[in-house]
Amino acid sequence: MHFYLNDERVDISHIDPTTTLLRYLRDEAGLRGTKEGCAEGDCGACTVVVLDPARPTNAGASYRAVNSCLLLLPMLHGRRVYTVEGLAEEGAGGAREPHLAQRALMERLGSQCGYCTPGVVMSLVEAAHRSDLDEPWQVDDQLCGNLCRCTGYRPILAAAEAVAGARPEGRLARGLSLWGGAGAAEEARGDAEVHRAAGAGRALAAPSSLEALWAEWAREPQALLVMGGTDLSLMITKRFERPARLISLELLPELRGSEVETLPSGERRWWIGATEALSDVERLARDLCPSLERMLRFFGARQIKNRGTLGGNLCTASPIGDTPPALLALGASVELRSAAGARLLPLEELFVSYRRTALRPQELLARVCVPLPAPAAPGEETRHDRAYKVSKRQELDISAVSAAFSVTLSRPLAPAAGGAGGAPPVVVAARLAYGGVAAIPTRARAAEGALVGALWSEEALERAVAALAQDFTPISDHRGSAWYRATVAGNLLRGFWHEVSAGAPARLPYRPTAAVSL
Amino acid sequence: MNSSRHTPLSPAGSPLHHDALHDSALRHVTGEALYVDDLPEPPRTLVGWPVTARVARGRITRLDVEAARAAPGVRAVLTAADVPGVNDVSPFSHDEPLLAAGEVFAVGQVIALVVGESYDACRAGAARVVVEVEPLPALLTIEAAEAAGSYHGTPHFMRRGDVDAALAAAPVRLSGEVRTGGQEHFYLETHAALVVPQELNHLLVHSSTQHPSEVQAKVAEVLGLSRSAVVVEARRMGGGFGGKETQAAHVACLAALAAARLRRPVKLCLNRDQDMVMTGKRHPFVSRYEAGFSAQGDLLALRVRAVSDGGWAADLSGAILDRCLFHLDGAYYIPALEFEGRVAKTHLASNTAFRGFGGPQGAAVIEEVLHRAAERLGLDPAAVQRRNFYGEAPRDHTPYHQRVEGDRSARVFDELTARARYAERRAEVEAWNARHRWQKRGIAYQPVKFGISFTASHLNQAGALVLIYADGGVQINHGGTEMGQGLHAKMLAVAAHELGLRAEQVRVMHTSTDKVPNTSATAASSGSDLNGQAVAAACVTLRERLRPVAARLLRCAEADVRFEGGRASDVARPDRAVPFEEVTQAAYMAQVSLSAAGFYRTPDVHYDRAAGRGRPFHYFAYGGAVVEVELSTLTGEHRVTRVDVLHDAGRSLIPSIDVGQVEGGFVQGLGWLTREELVWSPEGHLKTHSPDTYKIPALGDAPRAFHVALLTDAAQEGVIHGSKAVGEPPFLLAIGVLGALRHALQSARGGAELAALDAPCTPERILRALATPPGA
Ligand SMILES: Cc1cc2nc3c(=O)[nH]c(=O)nc-3n(C[C@H](O)[C@H](O)[C@H](O)COP(=O)(O)OP(=O)(O)OC[C@H]3O[C@@H](n4cnc5c(N)ncnc54)[C@H](O)[C@@H]3O)c2cc1C
Ligand code: FES
Ligand code: FES
């Protein structure tokens, strides 16, 4: 296996596959511009960019900012990595010209101590070469994974706004056209059935087809699957445990892609490959599924979403995972595959107990299926979907409580405001899902029961809020007390009722004050 | 989002008072700037891994490191028994063993250091260290320490007038408790040291420290060496904020102990979790108060008892407590008062300096008192603030009997509230709140008056060493350290100004104890005040030595020589000039000494702690902020939406750098008061020991509308080029966030009185405040 580091080829077949890119850069390659601030994906000091080839799901080839502290070297197979040392252009007379992102930050005094700066620069590089930055919140999203303790961020945001989408010419721009084509992914897959890296008694295998994967997994039944590594790598960087056998899903075409299927009934179902990066899912959800977009907007940070996947988020089965409530409320199911074949499971049945799933040995999650609401016709049933995430800090934080609600009403709500315009519609169906309140992501069945069949009224709402007490009893921890979680769980439902009743848009505004936007 | 800038970049003449980039800006963005962990390791460098206590307090009954010593790749395991000199790294109270000896006093206290060829080897070795500790009862809160009578040092009192009588006579009386939480520094670069043995028993220590001289002293004491055997170099820090003032010595001494023992270079860099668990933070405070007001909102009397959590060792807790007391008056005159301060001794990590150094904790108390009074009286809190500012005698006496001269509080208030349309916006906010059920806004004014000087008066001194080479090259050395605050850029400007050069013609050298001895920490916002004077003095000495040389070259009177723009010229005939390098070459040939030391001590500062009386401050720095917030009554989430600041940096040395300090200080303060929550287990383990669980502000937390301006026509007499210190004061501006949140909460609660709003105001605290019955 190999990758390109600042345009130089690096062979990694014989390196301990649990070596992170950050450690490699600093300890082996002698590139110490890239810093470690946390080794857990939470500070961005280690940010580098990786050239992501054009795929059907993303907006074209792009440089993606990623946390080098969480990337294991073999994950880079066939990819091009750029660090802060690799940005300068050869100027006149051999002088090194800083990249636009570097200049923009420097000129605005966007560095004080300078320790966060290389990481900020790399996030700005992604911003500079992106073609899909068309809303102000995306600039926040682009930078929120880079903590800076010195500047107070004003000059950093100013630099980001100045470079966002500027697409400067030069080496990196040329690289996009040279190496960004769809062919690049094929090339990485190459002819080998399985790509391997091994060292220090540890091995990683990256099969390039499901067949090869089943064979590999049968040989190494104890091997752990890894995709983005934004969850798994923490065992290496924080707990100092080194898995002896890893299987990477990176090169499997079967687990990629996104497709909207229209059934004969006219219903539409969105199939999302388990290994699609969350940033790509987010981009597609903007039109297809605003409630999922709303949840993903404050999921981790750009660097995390550029590597993290739906498959990883669902299979960790964390009670505070954010996509599970969103997908539970949407009535999603998951396609599980093993050598024996495929099965479709309602998502609720995937979560068995605290961090345990219904995945059988040597079975994986291949795709997620999200039923999309039909466009509402006047006088007909209408579905309202919203998702909410509440955390101590809005950006890059783990939920204290997350929730997603989907209700189907017998007819559209009267346009908002004032006078009682006749009886409200009836709640035909309700799916209320929560994270952070129980050992697994869960639906609030009692509260659903209080709504279904009732009129869409504040009385029914309050009955449903009261019923939540039967559905779960949250616990206290450093993210919030049981009291806070229970109170917020109820208030989110209230907020949902008022948002829907007021006809508030499903998408969040720029810099919302709170998860509930009223 | 924008900030006012005062002056253009790239000035033609003196670089002083003009915008400039950070001196390392280009190196920062290209990744060339080196920090301790980035320095190329000399051959045979080893790394260290500390073995730390897992119980908050106990007696070490067994410590067996034999198996660890035998582990592959491990070269040494060091314990207290291996310390050849004094096993202590405290700044002065001799209560902080480098390696635990017999007893442990906090989770994270270092018991042994494993030194080996790699971190993996060290960790494997560390797992073989056997430590048995018999637990003893631990004090883990201020309340528990108070109940047990467990304190560091002696109480500090300040008194004026008959506070009991004044309280009894006051028409309006309030009492309550203000709690502010601790704060992790979260410098992006964790503590780090690389120690390289030199010839004989000498050591070169690379340390990420704000206080190289103290690191030097501690290394020497721990190893039983003379300070002359130890050179400490501090090129730059990836942030300090006070956290590397005293506590850098610990890491450096551990590495030095190993390097001296093994005669090999040793590097010790804490990872984030180690750093957060082991090192101290901002002091949490609990302050109980009684206050009396007139019906018009005049503060008549105030009694405060402020108690901080010092943690297990004294560190700088005493001085931090003092500064809290020095700022309990905020910007206000208090006719009758009694302040008492104590430092609780608990079994948590030893708390230490953090930007503001107790000042913010003090100012937060009086702001809450004033806001409550205003709420009780139905007045605009800003009006109550305004009428209580210091004024003409006798309203010019601080609680510690220093007179406030040239108070700028009212000027800043009037200029800023007009510019930020405070009164209109307050009305707009109220109207908005009337229309919105689930979201409420609040707005508040926050004044800052911050005393400048080390309150331990002898620390107010600094030295510099300036070298000029025959070819005109200039190097400046000074005792200050660069942690991002832009000190070096300012020192370049000061030196260039005196020598008549452009800033690019001067090079600032890495701070090193072999250039300037016995330096004070770069702390107390004093870096440019003290070092600037010393640098200027050295440069003036050299310039005056060059003057006769230049006069000879120009064939003019010495008094007519002007150094400017990289040249010496004759003021009478400005067309006649010689380049600086020609003057220096001539000086060399004429056997003129081209190096000079400069020295400065702040005049007139003294304080008698026992009497609570003196003149601890050379001057005060002022500022004001108008802060607007919005909160959700459903989730308690909130956001600072707009901030307008007018800050007094005197005649700013480099406005662009100072604006950066103001912005950064504000957002750091905002984090302290809203997001950053330290949570310990009942056994004294820090549960929020990484950015996963400890949340400093992220980009979206910075106010979208962020207008920072520096006060104009504000030169300060007796300070380098009329400037003022700017490192810490802006941090206090963020206390306005609490005022604005109170306003929003009051609105949400239909005006019901709210007694306490503890910080950090997390979403949960806000929701609790909303659910709290009136007055409780
Ligand atoms: C800084 C940071 C912030 C984060 N923020 C959030 C957040 O806001 N919300 C949130 O929910 N999560 C968050 N996470 C967690 C993590 O990013 C997500 O869970 C992510 O979706 C994991 O995807 P991955 O591809 O990186 O998983 P990996 O780390 O590669 O794998 C995670 C686990 O899932 C298994 N797995 C992965 N893919 C499959 C598959 N297709 N089939 C079967 N098993 C599979 C792996 O074996 C492994 O056990 C955060 C993590 C970090 C480090
Ligand atoms: S080191 Fe902090 S995100 Fe990687
Ligand atoms: S400049 Fe210091 S952390 Fe950003």
Locate the domains of chain A by residue range: 1-189, 382-501
The burial class, CB within 10 Å (0-12 / 13-18 / 19+), for B198 is: exposed
CA distance B734 to A86: 39
Question: Residue B182: left if φ>0, alpha if ψ -120 to 50, beta else—which one?
Answer: beta
What per-residue confidence (pLDDT) applies to A415? 64
Instruction: Give the right CATH number for A1-189 from 3.40.50.150, 3.90.1150.10, 3.40.50.1370, 3.10.20.30.
Output: 3.10.20.30
Query: Which of B573, B601, B629 corresponds to the end of one domain?
Result: B601
Residues making up chain B, counted from first to last: 776
Beta carbons of A269 and A261 less than 8 angstroms apart: yes
What per-residue confidence (pLDDT) applies to B754? 87
Is B12 within the bounds of a domain? no
Q: Which of A393, A485, A497, A517 to mutate to test the interface with B (most CBs of B within 10 A)?
A: A393
Which residues does B713 contact at the CB level (< 8 Å), separation at least 6?
A: none
| Average pLDDT of the residues in A212-216 | 98
Same domain, B655 and B562: no
Tell me the pLDDT band of A422, cut-offs 50, 70 and 90: confident
Same domain, B65 and B102: yes
What per-residue confidence (pLDDT) applies to A518? 87
Confidence check: pLDDT of B10 > 70: no
Ligand positioned closest to the Cα atom of B668: 3
What residues of B are annotated to the active site? Answer: 728
Confidence check: pLDDT of B4 > 60: no
Contacts of B700 in chain A (CB under 8 A): 140, 144, 394-395, 511
| Average pLDDT of the residues in A234-248 | 97
Asked casually if ipTM beats, i.e. exceeds, 0.90, the reply is yes
Is B235 within the bounds of a domain? yes
Q: Which amino acid is at B702?
A: A
Is B688 within the bounds of a domain? yes
What per-residue confidence (pLDDT) applies to A180? 86
pLDDT in tens, B70-123: 999 999 999 999 999 999 999 999 999 999 999 999 999 999 999 999 999 999
| Average pLDDT of the residues in B667-692 | 98
Is B170 within the bounds of a domain? no
* Residue closest by Cα to atom 43 of ligand 1: A364
| Average pLDDT of the residues in B49-67 | 98
| Average pLDDT of the residues in A374-394 | 88
Q: Which of A91-95, A150-154, A457-461 shows the lowest per-residue confidence on average (mean pLDDT)?
A: A91-95
Beta carbons of B21 and A107 less than 8 angstroms apart: yes
What per-residue confidence (pLDDT) applies to B377? 96
**Chains A & B: contacts with CB separation below 8 Å:** 265
The burial class, CB within 10 Å (0-12 / 13-18 / 19+), for A252 is: buried
**Which has the closest alpha carbon to B686: B329, B183, B203?**
B183
Confidence check: pLDDT of A418 > 80: no
| Average pLDDT of the residues in B220-246 | 98
Cα B270 to ligand 2 centroid, rounded to whole Å:
14
Is B387 within the bounds of a domain? yes
- CB-CB: which of A85, A149, A515 is closest to B668? A149
Q: Which amino acid is at A384?
A: H
**B101, two tokens:** 């000896």
Cα A515 to ligand 1 centroid, rounded to whole Å:
23
What per-residue confidence (pLDDT) applies to B97? 98
**A61, two tokens:** 């080839």
Q: Does B35 touch chain A (CB under 8 A)?
A: yes
Is B264 within the bounds of a domain? yes
What per-residue confidence (pLDDT) applies to B74? 98
What per-residue confidence (pLDDT) applies to A13? 96
pLDDT in tens, B757-772: 999 999 999 999 999 8
Beta carbons of A364 and A338 less than 8 angstroms apart: yes
| Average pLDDT of the residues in B675-693 | 97
**B325, two tokens:** 């007391």
Same domain, B588 and B614: no
User: Taking CA atoms, what residue in B is nearest to A142?
Assistant: B699
Same domain, B421 and B475: no
Same domain, B252 and B119: yes
**A212, two tokens:** 């090869």
What per-residue confidence (pLDDT) applies to A189? 78
Confidence check: pLDDT of A459 > 80: yes
| Average pLDDT of the residues in A205-223 | 97
CB contact under 8 A, A390 and B635: yes
What per-residue confidence (pLDDT) applies to B7? 46
Same fold, A1-189 and A382-501: no
What per-residue confidence (pLDDT) applies to B775? 58
- Nearest CA distance, B318 vs chain A (angstrom): 26
| Average pLDDT of the residues in B323-335 | 98
Which residues does A212 contact at the CB level (< 8 Å), separation at least 6?
A: A193, A194
Q: How many CB atoms lie within 10 A of CB A411?
A: 17
Query: Which of B581, B601, B621 corresponds to the end of one domain?
Result: B601
Confidence check: pLDDT of A375 > 90: no
Confidence check: pLDDT of A57 > 90: no
Q: Which atom of ligand 1 is nearest to the CA of A298?
A: 8
Q: Structural domain tally of chain B?
A: 3
Beta carbons of B728 and B454 less than 8 angstroms apart: no
pLDDT in tens, A284-328: 999 999 999 999 999 999 999 999 999 999 999 999 999 999 999
CB contact under 8 A, B702 and A107: no
Cα separations in angstroms, B334 against B167, B177, B305, B400, B466:
12, 19, 15, 11, 47
Is B101 within the bounds of a domain? yes
What per-residue confidence (pLDDT) applies to B756? 84
Ligand positioned closest to the Cα atom of A43: 2
| Average pLDDT of the residues in B712-729 | 95
What per-residue confidence (pLDDT) applies to B3? 47
**Which has the closest alpha carbon to B399: B309, B475, B304?**
B304
Same domain, B583 and B613: no
Cα A43 to ligand 3 centroid, rounded to whole Å:
11
Beta carbons of B253 and B207 less than 8 angstroms apart: no
Cα B84 to ligand 1 centroid, rounded to whole Å:
49
Confidence check: pLDDT of B500 > 80: yes
The burial class, CB within 10 Å (0-12 / 13-18 / 19+), for B583 is: buried
What per-residue confidence (pLDDT) applies to A421? 61
Beta carbons of B619 and B452 less than 8 angstroms apart: yes
User: Taking CA atoms, what residue in B is nearest to A40?
Assistant: B692
Tell me the pLDDT band of B2, cut-offs 50, 70 and 90: very low
CB contact under 8 A, B695 and A393: yes
Spatial strand order in the sheet of B439-452: B439-452, B619-632, B638-647, B705-710
Strand, coil or helix: what is B398?
Answer: coil
pLDDT in tens, B287-314: 999 999 999 999 999 999 999 999 999 9
Cα A230 to ligand 1 centroid, rounded to whole Å:
5
Cα separations in angstroms, B315 against B90, B110, B210, B320, B689:
6, 16, 15, 10, 21
Is B684 within the bounds of a domain? yes
User: For the domain that residue B87 is a member of, what is the CATH number?
Assistant: 3.30.365.10
What per-residue confidence (pLDDT) applies to A257? 94
- Report the pocket of ligand 1 as residue ranges, CB < 6 Å: A 40-42, 224-232, 249, 274, 299-300, 304, 307-309, 311-313, 315-316, 321-322, 364-365, 398
* Residue closest by Cα to atom 2 of ligand 3: A113
Helix axis angle for B381-388 and B409-419, nearest 10°, is 150
CB contact under 8 A, B31 and A85: yes
pLDDT in tens, B344-353: 999 999 999 9
* Residue closest by Cα to atom 3 of ligand 3: A148
**B480, two tokens:** 């200050």
pLDDT in tens, B632-646: 999 999 999 999 999
Same domain, B422 and B480: no
Q: What is the dihedral of CA B375, B377, B380, B386, to 10 degrees?
A: -110
pLDDT in tens, B122-174: 999 999 999 999 999 999 999 999 999 999 999 999 999 999 999 999 999 99
Q: Does B437 touch chain A (CB under 8 A)?
A: yes
User: Taking CA atoms, what residue in A is nearest to B727?
Assistant: A150
Same domain, B627 and B701: yes
Q: Over the Cα atoms of chain A, what is R_g?
A: 24
What per-residue confidence (pLDDT) applies to B8? 45
- Nearest CA distance, B467 vs chain A (angstrom): 26
Same domain, B615 and B688: yes
Instruction: Give the right CATH number for A382-501 from 1.10.10.10, 3.40.50.300, 3.30.390.50, 3.10.290.10.
Output: 3.30.390.50
For β-strands B266-269 and B46-52, DSSP reports them as parallel
Tell me the pLDDT band of A191, cut-offs 50, 70 and 90: confident
Beta carbons of B433 and B747 less than 8 angstroms apart: yes
Q: What is the dihedral of CA A487, A488, A490, A494, to 10 degrees?
A: 130
- Nearest CA distance, B532 vs chain A (angstrom): 19
| Average pLDDT of the residues in B487-513 | 95
What per-residue confidence (pLDDT) applies to B543? 98
User: Within its chain, how far is the Cα of A409 from the centroid?
Assistant: 30
Task: Provide the chain B residues 351-370 that lie in CB contact (below 8 A) with chain A.
Answer: none
Task: Provide the chain B residues 148-207 that lie in CB contact (below 8 A) with chain A.
Answer: 185-190
Q: How many CB atoms lie within 10 A of CB B63?
A: 20
Which residues does A92 contact at the CB level (< 8 Å), separation at least 6?
A: none
Confidence check: pLDDT of B425 > 90: yes
Q: Which domain holds residue B630?
A: 378-455+609-771
Query: Which of B259, B278, B297 corresponds to the end of one domain?
Result: B278
Q: Which residues of B216-232 are buried (b: 16+ CB within 10 A; e: fewer)?
A: bbbbbbbbebebebbbb
Same domain, B442 and B474: no
- Nearest CA distance, A157 vs chain B (angstrom): 8
- Nearest CA distance, A262 vs chain B (angstrom): 38
CA distance B74 to B67: 10
Q: Which of B19, B270, B635, B726 to mutate to test the interface with A (most CBs of A within 10 A)?
A: B635
Same domain, B64 and B130: yes
Q: Which of A421-425, B258-262, B426-430, B557-561 shows the lowest per-residue confidence on average (mean pLDDT)?
A: A421-425
Q: Which of A75, A235, A304 to mutate to test the pocket of ligand 1 (most atoms within 8 A of CB)?
A: A304
Please name the helix (run of DSSP H) or strand (run of DSSP E) that holds residue A328, with its range, or none.
helix A323-329
